[in-house]
Structure 1
Amino acid sequence: MQPHTSDTQSPVTLPPTARLARSGGRLHFLDALRGIAAAYVVFFHLVYVGGVPAPVWLSGLVAQGSSGVMLFFVVSCFSLFFTMPARLREARPIVSFFTHRFFRIAPLFYAWLAITCVLMVYVYHLPVTTAAVFQSIFFVFNLVPGNQGGIVMASWTIGVEMLFYAIFPLIYFRTHNLVQSASLVLMTLLAYFAMSFVLPLLPLDPETAGSIHQWLFIKDLPVFALGAVCYFLLADRLANEPTAQDRSVGWLLILVAACVFVAHSNGWVGDGIFGGHPYMWPAIWYAALVVGLALNPIRLLVNGLTRFLGTISYSLYLAHGPVINTLRPWYARLALHDTWSTTTTYLIAAAGTMLVSIAIAYVTYRLIEVPFIRLGKVLYARWSGSASATQAPQHPG
């Protein structure tokens, strides 16, 4: 039986030369992409939740920031496919998978759920129902129309992720190659088409039907599936440093991702080809970026800062919402400086928000994420009678 590996640890043995794009079995580009995704969502919410206007030259880029969640989804599926072979060598692989997923996600989420409920009741004077709390505790709120956004700000993604984790073993055991992963994208996209066709025929009020169409995790499955496509495109290359040809192809794919991003942002390509699915074009440009950075991890995007943000990305994602809401009076005071340009105001607000969010995220990562990831490993080792490693990973999976 092989020792337990962390969620970004490879199931293969690395040759001595494979050190630049990875270390200790960790894929640096995945860490960096998580960090980029988290930061992108923060910059988006700074404008659309915090009310800080973005400068004209940056507004188009910021407006697409919500799509950073699609990057999380693509990377998540890629990471699960990458690490599952190591879990299969565990004494009880499925128990190992679900134990790790629960202790990776639930403890920090529960902490923010408690904090949010207190803030809503005693600070914002908003109602919190017992039913909604239990839906969040059991991660089923994505299935409840009207509550699919969750209680914790931006936690709709957690509801989607947990449901995807629930079905991932079935997907994994039926998806073995590039053709099957591409078929998975098409099958899940067809499921979205079917949902869009059937919903108007059901005896549902418009609000309920709209909530289901907007939030139900079926819409997100093709995005996850593209992560599997990325994995199988790279499966034979992950153990080695990219060659010169790999780097050329990687640079090409990075440029493709940038061009698709610009084309979609400017409305030059629409969502009609995907039946109005709003996430497919972002998923495509992020899939190109994932493969591109795997083959050519350019330092502009894969560096110490982005990798550090990737390490704390889950904590950063959950922390930034309350931080933005708390700092809104500060944003308003910044706007009173008539001599400052919109660019200056936005950059100061963005820097302050990131610094506070990162500080809180690092604390919650060290005090909640790391100990509970370690606890999950210890409990699994006891349940399975194995000698699983108890050292917490540097980055969550």
Structure 2
Amino acid sequence: MAEPKKYEYIDSLRGIAILMVVGVHILSFFKVSTSDFFPPLLIDYIYDFRCGVSLFFIVSAYTLTMSHERRKDEKRATRNFFIRRFFRIAPIYYSAIILIYLFNIDHSAAYIKAIPTFWFLSNFLFLNTLSPYIIGTIVPGGWSVSAEFIFYFLFPILTIWVRNTNTSLIFFGIFIAIASIFHYNFYDDPFLSKFEFMEVNFLNQVPIFFLGIFAYHVTQKKDYRVSPYTVVFLACVCLLFAHIPFPYYFMWTIAFTALVIILSKYSLKAFSNKVLASVGKVSFSMYIIHFLVIMALNNFEFGRILPITGFISSLLNFILLYSIVAAVTFCLSNITYKFIEIPGQNLGRKIIKKLDQQNNITV
């Protein structure tokens, strides 16, 4: 197997992640049923594509740790980290919040009245995965943006404690156990179950990020040292899962972590190539925009391209619908990437440069 092109695999993994997410939302977000005649096993399999978000989290933690190591000697590294992260996420996310609000002013006055003001505030502050009171998202899928940003907030502190392969596994074990116990004890709670809070809350998602940090230390630091005590601890966590269900993403995230490690060393064209990398480059815009594309198609009651008479026609309709949404989203995302994401990131860099110049003058 050939050596991988430098970091092409990272964008390719993001490409895989967003293509999975689009698939599950074709299944679940269209008003018109897109799964007629699908066997339950196929529906369950497509629904598991929601774990594409988990792949995003793993890759995010992996690249954040990589970036942190590269910039660890930078002056005011923590301040600059937060500025970079904010201007990486906020421009396209805030644009989507405003666009959806404006769209619904004209099309759904009841929708606007039903949204409390504090929902907008929680979305703008990226806090909506912390409580069922504020979990309601303006942008569909905004819960994952919130989880990502909260992890950004914790990351500078975590880098003090999670500094090698062993500690990343310990933290993963601790938080996967906490998340599982919390989920098991409160899954049927009517309040905590609002808006699928038990699935998407930050506590349930945070273990995934430690797998990205683990993958970084294995692949970039060549750190293979794991304490026997850590192995015993993880074995005990696995025994816990004999009595309570593990999180829905558990097996997928283990597979994703293995894929990150493999692709960092070997170029597997099925998983790392120019096409996937080009999709991955604009994957954040695609994550936000594909919801808007589906909303627009729903507005025109679009969802049945072919007459549905059986499994084959139903499957073909799903594939065609998926292809249309993915293609339109990709084209629009290249535009928003160029005119919203890139200028936003450049603005963040200018602010950092300006602050550094002011500090130098002060000194």
Same fold (TM over 0.5): yes
Residue of 29, 43, 65 corresponding to 2:23: 43
Partner of 1:233: 218
Q: Does the 8 Å contact 2:15/2:279 carry over to 1? A: yes
1:195-214 paired onto structure 2 within 5 Å: 195-196=182-183, 206-211=189-194, 212-214=197-199
Cα separation, partners in 2 of 1:52 and 1:236, compared to 1, 3 Å: same
Cα separation, partners in 2 of 1:271 and 1:113, compared to 1, 3 Å: farther
Residue of 113, 124, 145 corresponding to 1:158: 145
Instruction: Provide, for residues 80-138 of structure 1, a one-character-per-residue CA deviation record: whole Å limited to 9, x for no partner.
Output: 11110222222210011101000000111000000111223321331332211111111
Cα separation, partners in 2 of 1:20 and 1:195, compared to 1, 3 Å: same
Instruction: Provide, for residues 245-298 of structure 1, a one-character-per-residue CA deviation record: whole Å limited to 9, x for no partner.
Output: xxxxxxxxxxxxxxxxxxxxxxxxx96566442222221111111112222221
Instruction: Provide, for residues 17-42 of structure 1, a one-character-per-residue CA deviation record: whole Å limited to 9, x for no partner.
Output: xx95234xxx1111100011001100
| 2:336 aligned with 1:364 | yes
Q: Which has the higher helix share?
A: 2
| 2:74 aligned with 1:74 | no
Superposition RMSD on alpha carbons, in Å?
2.7
Deviation, 1:210, is 2.4
Rounded to whole Å, the distance in 1 between the matches of 2:17 and 2:255 is 13
Instruction: Provide, for residues 194-233 of structure 1, a one-character-per-residue CA deviation record: whole Å limited to 9, x for no partner.
Output: 5347759xxxx93323245333201111111111111111
Q: Does the 8 Å contact 1:37/1:69 carry over to 2? A: yes
Partner of 2:126: 139
Partner of 1:121: 105
| 2:5 aligned with 1:28 | no
Q: Letter of the 1:70 partner, please give it.
A: S
Residue of 272, 281, 296 corresponding to 1:326: 296
Q: Letter of the 1:39 partner, please give it.
A: L
Q: Does the 8 Å contact 2:181/2:244 carry over to 1? A: no
Partner of 1:91: 75
Partner of 1:7: none
Deviation, 1:375, is 0.9
Q: Letter of the 2:138 partner, please give it.
A: I
Rounded to whole Å, the distance in 1 between the matches of 2:353 and 2:87 is 14
Q: Does the 8 Å contact 2:127/2:134 carry over to 1? A: no
Q: Letter of the 1:172 partner, please give it.
A: T
| 2:358 aligned with 1:378 | no
Q: Which stretch shifts more, 371-380 or 54-63?
A: 54-63
Q: Does the 8 Å contact 2:118/2:134 carry over to 1? A: no
The one of the two structures with greater contact order (alpha-carbon pairs below 8 A, sep at least 6) is: 2
Q: Does the 8 Å contact 1:87/1:96 carry over to 2? A: no
Q: Does the 8 Å contact 2:96/2:139 carry over to 1? A: yes
Unmatched runs of 5 consecutive residues or more in structure 1: 1-18, 239-269, 388-397
Residue of 314, 327, 350 corresponding to 2:284: 314
Partner of 1:287: 257
Residue 139 of structure 2 aligns to a residue in which SS? Answer: coil
Instruction: Provide, for residues 2-27 of structure 1, a one-character-per-residue CA deviation record: whole Å limited to 9, x for no partner.
Output: xxxxxxxxxxxxxxxxx95234xxx1
Unmatched runs of 5 consecutive residues or more in structure 2: 224-239
Q: Letter of the 1:37 partner, please give it.
A: A
Deviation, 1:330, is 5.8
Q: Letter of the 2:336 partner, please give it.
A: T
Rounded to whole Å, the distance in 2 between the matches of 1:43 and 1:196 is 26
Q: Does the 8 Å contact 1:37/1:72 carry over to 2? A: yes
Partner of 1:109: 93
1:268-287 paired onto structure 2 within 5 Å: 275-287=245-257
Cα separation, partners in 2 of 1:65 and 1:272, compared to 1, 3 Å: farther
Q: Letter of the 1:52 partner, please give it.
A: T
Cα separation, partners in 2 of 1:67 and 1:196, compared to 1, 3 Å: closer
Deviation, 1:359, is 1.2
Rounded to whole Å, the distance in 2 between the matches of 1:118 and 1:172 is 40
Partner of 1:189: 176
Cα separation, partners in 2 of 1:48 and 1:194, compared to 1, 3 Å: closer
Residue 270 of structure 2 aligns to a residue in which SS? Answer: coil
Counting matched residue pairs gives 331
Q: Which stretch shifts more, 337-346 or 376-385?
A: 337-346
Q: Letter of the 2:262 partner, please give it.
A: G
Rounded to whole Å, the distance in 2 between the matches of 1:301 and 1:228 is 21
Deviation, 1:236, is 3.5
Rounded to whole Å, the distance in 1 between the matches of 2:95 and 2:87 is 13
Percent identity between matched residues is 24
Rounded to whole Å, the distance in 1 between the matches of 2:137 and 2:318 is 28
Instruction: Provide, for residues 328-365 of structure 1, a one-character-per-residue CA deviation record: whole Å limited to 9, x for no partner.
Output: 34644414366982232122111111111111111111
Q: Does the 8 Å contact 1:274/1:280 carry over to 2? A: no
Q: Letter of the 1:384 partner, please give it.
A: D
Residue 290 of structure 1 aligns to a residue in which SS? Answer: helix
Q: Does the 8 Å contact 1:271/1:278 carry over to 2? A: no
